[in-house]
Structures are given as C-alpha cells and as structure tokens.
Amino acid sequence: MQLRRVVVTGLGAITPLGNTAKDYWAGLVAGRSGAAPITRFDASKFKTRFACEVKGFDPEQFMDRKEARKMDPFAQYAVVASDEAIKDAGLDLEKVDKDRFGVIWGSGIGGLKTFQEECIAFGRGDGTPRFNPFFIPKMIADSAAGLVSMRHGLRGPSYVTVSACASGNNSMIDAFNVIRLGMCSAMVTGGSEAAIYEAGVGGFNALHAMSTRNDDPLTASRPYDKDRDGFVLGDGGAAIILEDLEHAKARGARIYCEVIGAGMSSDAYHITAPHPEGVGVHLCMKNAVADSGIALTDVDLINTHGTSTPIGDPQELKAIQKLFGEQAYKMNINATKSMTGHLLGGAGAVEGVATILSVVNDIVPPTINHFTDDPEIDPKLNLTFNTAQKRTVNVAISNTFGFGGHNTSVVFRKYS
C-alpha cells in the first residue's frame, strides 16, 4: 500500500527551561541549565538534593481547581502541553473529523505523586481503607491520553505507551504509523512525567543512577564529560501534532517539518544497564535510517539519549560511529538532557520538540557542562559542547532508550 506522508504542525511544551515551546527553545539555544535545589519536598537527607523541576506552573491558570485536583501533575502537563500544541497547529476542532483524530501519549511511571501520597496516608492510619475515589484514575498512566481526548472530543485511538525512558518516542512512532497507514488524519502525541518526589528521587538514588553533585547542581548534568556521575532528574512534558500531509495542506496549515521514519529495537541484555557494545542502539538507528529511505550521509544531527551516565554515554557514541562511519565526524551530535535533565517517559517528547526546532531554525542547541574530555570518547566527534551552533539541518534523528533495553529513534526532515 502507499504510505501517507506525515508532518508536524503544532508544538507545546512544559519544561524546566520554560512552560511554552517558545520559551523552552530560547532556553535551549541560550545553553541554560534547568537544575536547582529541590523545592517539592525536604530533600536534605537524600543523596541527591537537586533536580530539573518545572518552575512557575500553576494548573489553575489552564483549568478550574476542581478539575486540576482530579489530575496527577504528569497528566496536568499532558493536558496543558496538548492545549498549546493544538492551538499552535491552528486546528479548528469544529471543522475536523474527530473520529479520525486521536491521542497517543507516553509516560514511564504515571501518577507517582498520587500513588505515594495515598500509600503514605494509608500507612499512617489505623488500617481502615480510606482512599481517595480518584486514586486509581489519577495514578494510571493511560489517564493522560484519556483526559486529552475527552477535553477535545477526539474519538480516534487513545492510549499511553509505557517503555520507561523510551515512552515519549514510542508514542510518537505509534502516532506516526497510525497516520501513514491511513487510520487517522491527525494525532496528538508526546509524553510527560512528574517523578521529582521522595519515591522517585529515593528510588533512582538506590540504583546509583543519579548525579550527587549537590555542591553544583547547575553543572551536574554533563553528558560526555570525563567527570559525569549520573543523570539529573527532570519533569514536565511536550506535545506534538502530527498530521497526514494532505489533511494539513487542505486546511492551509503551517508545517514545521516532516517525520520520515522510525526505528525500534531491544538490547535483550539487562533491566537497567545498556548493552556494553551498543548492539541494540546500533540496530535501532539502522532500522530508522532504512525506514526513512535516506542515505547515512543525509543525516546532519543526532540528538542523543545522552543521559550523563558513565556507562551509557560512550556506548551510544560507539554505536553512532559504527553505523555512520565517516559521516559521524561530519554531523552534529548533542545532548539536550544537559539542560533539561532526564524527563524519563517525557524525554522523547521534549527532545523531539528540540530536534524539530533544530530542523526548522538550522540551529543545534549545545551539550552544556563540558569541562574535561573523556579519553573513551573520540575527540573528533562534534558534540556541540557548551555553545549552540548554526548549520543547515535537513535531516535529524532523536534517540531515546529505556530501562529494560527499549531503544527508539525518530527521523525528521525539512518539509518541501
């Protein structure tokens, strides 16, 4: 069958760098760190006492208090970012076929704050089960997609992908496939997470996965630096409107860029550690390039998973060099987690927005906080250290990988 072309027509974002897509992009280009001491709870007894929190977000600016109280923060981020993306796309929802407009979202955890609060309240009681009637609807990850679809009356497919830190990319890949197979004309896709609470910080500390650079939070997320010591937890989310090209053209939509392919793979190796030879990462990117029908030499930028972990960072770069050969030295490579922190299930969405805007604006946001070269990393690679770089970006790949060995890559191209 003839696959349909899929384009990006709307963006929305709530991030540690800004609570709109425009403000988020400005923070990225400026090379600003979103890290700071944790304000959500008293973190003084935790190994890590800082994170990349969303700042100044008040859900009651976007919905009434009663509605907001029925949502966990991860779902609030989903709803608000989706509102922005739909508005940005110029969609008149009274004129579109809502039977062919759906929502596929991503979240690795879902309502962690809700789950933590309800369990603590029960544990402090006398054993009598007193739970909030909204406990389950607020906690389950699929509530984000359901709430967005109900808010706008979208009757197409509606669900949430859960693949740890690959969830946001998996949601985008599913939405892309639904449209190019002709099942829908438009989709809201993206991802969100809200895990900067005691259970989230304590859990990742127990895994020894997060940076403990408490004396200097601003520079703690330092992908590809010799002295990196783990990721910095972030929260927020982003939404992307994908449309069938003909549907977008028929309504005179502004088109950001085109989604031309995607790849997925599994490490089949370890529940938290990446494959030491980057086998799954290499396969994932190889699949994405093949699906896109492009040459390896067409790729100008890869926004890497680049979490700032000692093991993960060099393996991803080795996989890039193995697949792309000499082209690896001609492209830009960056890691925007150096600024946003790691948004877990929302990572693919916020990094997707960053990659899309790199294609649109021909600017590559930097990998900040680079101080010392890592002898394990080839110094000839252009890792876009510390300062944004201008270059023509015709084709860009966004990588995200998740605990459990889930690997995803999405390929964007300038629209013509």
Query: Which alpha helices (DSSP H) does 236-370 contain, by range?
Result: 245-250, 279-292, 312-324, 337-340, 347-361
342 is catalytic: yes
What distances in angstroms separate CA 101 from CA 59, 178, 254, 394, 408, one per listed residue? 25, 10, 18, 28, 24
305 is catalytic: yes
184 is catalytic: no
Annotated active-site residue in 282, 342, 370, 406: 342
Annotated active-site residue in 152, 247, 282, 305: 305
Q: Please spell the DSSP secondary structure of 15-52, one letter per residue.
A: BTTBSSHHHHHHHHHHT----EE--SS--TTSS--EEB
Q: What is the spatial distance between Cα 92 and Cα 73, in angstroms, rounded to a whole number?
A: 27
Q: What is the spatial distance between Cα 57 and Cα 20, in angstroms, rounded to a whole number?
A: 11
Annotated active-site residue in 165, 184, 257, 284: 165
Strands 6-14 vs 236-244: parallel, antiparallel or unpaired: antiparallel
Contact 36, 348 (CB under 8 A): no
| DSSP element (H, E) containing 82 | helix 73-88
* Assigned token pair, 8: 């990006």
Closest CA to 397 of 281, 285, 317: 285
DSSP 342: B
Residue that has been written with the tokens 């923060």 in this structure: 73
Q: What is the spatial distance between Cα 279 and Cα 225, in angstroms, rounded to a whole number?
A: 23
Closest CA to 190 of 363, 8, 65, 26: 8
Residue type, position 206, single letter = A
Which residues make Cβ contacts (< 8 Å) with residue 387, sequence separation at least 6? 31, 366
What distances in angstroms separate CA 46 from CA 163, 201, 225, one per listed residue? 27, 8, 24
Closest CA to 256 of 364, 389, 393: 393
Active site residues: 165, 305, 342
